[in-house]
Amino acid sequence: MKNKYIFGGAIIVLFLGVMGYLFTQSNIKYESNFANVIGSDKTCKATGSWVKEKNYDMNREQNTFSFFMKDENGAEMKVIYEGAMPNNFETATSVVVTGSYRNGYFHAKDILTKCPSKYEQQNIQSSSL
């Protein structure tokens, strides 16, 4: 009988731990000002655009992809992602990177790209007629 209570208590503690972890992960803040990203030691989602003039670098030996992005104020930040370049990166209109800023650059765990919509292009063409 006592083992049932211990087992039930362990399940409740485990459940509360998982819920607490998921709650903290869902509170990741979007930042479009890199000054706030650089000043924070927490995980965040930095939004901006790829600086095409500085190109990008793929290191196949270390499996890293790096590039520069700029925020809405024009501030630039180097991003290093451990993984391959997203397929649609070169055509993206904006980039969202999830990770943290350490040692002089942004360590991305995830990259999300937003590409121009085919519907936006149709709207532009139809409005110019």
pLDDT tens digits, one per residue of 53-78: 998 999 989 999 999 999 989 999 99
The confidence score (pLDDT) of residue 127 equals: 47
pLDDT attached to residue 88: 87
Q: Say what the pLDDT of residue 123 is.
A: 46
**pLDDT above 80: residue 27:** no
SS3 50: strand
Position 126 scores a pLDDT of 45
Residue 90 confidence (pLDDT) above 60:
yes
> H/E element holding 80?
strand 76-82
Q: Give the domain ranges of the chain.
A: 2-127
CB 71 within 8 A of CB 32: yes
Which residues, in sequence order, are CB contacts of 29 under 8 Å at separation 6+? 42, 44, 45
Domain 2-127's class? mainly beta
State the DSSP H helix or E strand holding residue 97, giving kind and residue range, or none if neither. strand 94-102
pLDDT band of residue 118 (cuts 50, 70, 90) is low
